[in-house]
Amino acid sequence: MASVHIRAPVLPGPPEQLSTRITFFVAGFAMAAWAPLVPFAQERTGLGEGALGLLLLGLGGGSILAMPIAGAMAARFGCRLVLLLATALICLTLPLLATISSFPLLMATLFAFGAGVGGLDCVINIQAVIVERASGRAMMSGFHGLFSVGGILGAGGVSLLLTLGASPLAAILAVVAVILAATITATPHLLRYGGSGDGPPFAIPHGVVLFIGILCFITFLTEGAVLDWSAVFLTSVSGVEPSHAGLGYAVFALTMTVGRLLGDSIVRRLGGKLVITLGGLLAASGLAVATLVPAWEAALAGWALVGAGCSNIVPVLYSAVGRQDVMPEHVAVPAITTLGYAGILAGPAAIGLVAHVVSLPAAFLAIAVLLLGVAASGRLLRV
């Protein structure tokens, strides 16, 4: 009887690297395109701030629920299929987010959109871990840099179209067209497999994976705090005019994007351990400057330092997942990504609680202390 030969997966090379970069761009572009639609959704539904906050939780809830499911599906069916399904869900829900006026339907649609975004975010990182490991060199920062570029262009592009008079639906259909074109370009070299090693589809992170997840939680918590509270800080503490309050997050996003685009060469030169240590120290210093120096110019410089410091910590942590053997990546990546998203969701609420009990500067200083812990942890990882 003839023997059956199972074809081994083709080792990822430059085409797979390019497809990974394109898909990271798509993930950032799609996620950020929703942000300019929020005021229009609030106006259509007539929601107050409290109800709007509840609505926005749907995105995070859908994302967190989808991540472990996407990781399990990638292990069984491959990254390509899951990435295409997640992208299709995003493309189907975005036009609905631009038109629905019913609160229950909008909540359900935003939950589905969040599931698509979360599934996409999870599986692109699984593919990135596999592709980077096959390359034998640091590539993760560049991948995440394309996510940041996509975010800037997604939010900026939709805002520009709306400013020029396009309807929310017309603007979002342009976004969908870009997503589809980019995905079609990337599809031939998306991985048909999705992880190595045996393991359960779902597992509670443990060992070094739990440790990496906690560091991701702190870093994402910092990002969420800057996103939601830097403008409030600049107006209430630094005395900046409300019209200029968005500059804090703008400089943070700019230095984070530049840091990630340059990050692969930095990691190759300094090594992952030193990048985590210096990044944690730089981000903590930035929060201290923004909080303790009264001048608003110092606050902007502080937010810029936070962005530069945080820029390459998470990419290096994802690279560390590819080097550990405690859990297979199709389980480990969803675990640390879920913890990271939990940090983004918990950060703004935690800041608000501490600010209410003590003060807003004290809340940011507490995060600076956590970042010092991240800096001290760099030497303990295999990166």
Q: Could you give the number of structural domains in the chain?
A: 2
Reduced to 3 states (helix: H, G, I; strand: E, B; else coil), residue 7 is: coil
146 with 20: CB under 8 angstroms?
no
Give 6's pLDDT tier (boundaries 50, 70, 90).
very low
DSSP state of 187: G
pLDDT tens string 195-241: 655 555 566 788 889 999 999 999 999 988 887 777 777 877 777 77
Residue 4 has pLDDT above 60, yes or no: no
Largest CA distance in the chain: 82
Any idea which of 152-166, 226-240, 284-298 has the lowest mean pLDDT? 226-240
Query: What whole-number distance in Å separates Cα of residue 131 and Cα of residue 264?
Result: 14
Using DSSP, how many helices (H) and how many strands (E) does the chain show?
15, 0
- Can you list the positions of beta strands (E) in 81-157? none
Q: Return the higher-pLDDT residue of 227 and 265.
A: 265
The first and second tokens of residue 147, run together, are: 């996510």
pLDDT tens string 120-155: 999 999 999 999 998 888 899 999 999 999 988 988
135, 158, 189: which is the final residue of a domain?
189
Question: Are both 184 and 211 inside the same structural domain?
Answer: no
63 with 121: CB under 8 angstroms?
yes
Q: Which domain holds residue 317?
A: 207-380
Give 302's pLDDT tier (boundaries 50, 70, 90).
very high
Residue 65 has pLDDT above 80, yes or no: yes
230 with 249: CB under 8 angstroms?
yes
Give 2's pLDDT tier (boundaries 50, 70, 90).
very low
Nearest to 336 by CA among 195, 223, 217, 222: 217
Task: Answer whether residue 246 is part of any domain.
Answer: yes
Q: Measured between alpha carbons, how far apart are the two ends of the chain, in Å?
A: 47
Query: What whole-number distance in Å separates Cα of residue 308 and Cα of residue 348?
Result: 20
CATH number of domain containing 259: 1.20.1250.20
**Which of 196-200, 250-254, 264-268, 331-335 has maximum average pLDDT?**
264-268
Residue whose entry in the numeric block shows the structure tokens 């590539």? 139
Query: What whole-number distance in Å separates Cα of residue 110 and Cα of residue 34?
Result: 10
Question: Are both 163 and 307 inside the same structural domain?
Answer: no
Residue whose entry in the numeric block shows the structure tokens 């048909």? 192
Task: Answer whether residue 199 is part of any domain.
Answer: no
Give 357's pLDDT tier (boundaries 50, 70, 90).
confident
163, 189, 215: which is the final residue of a domain?
189
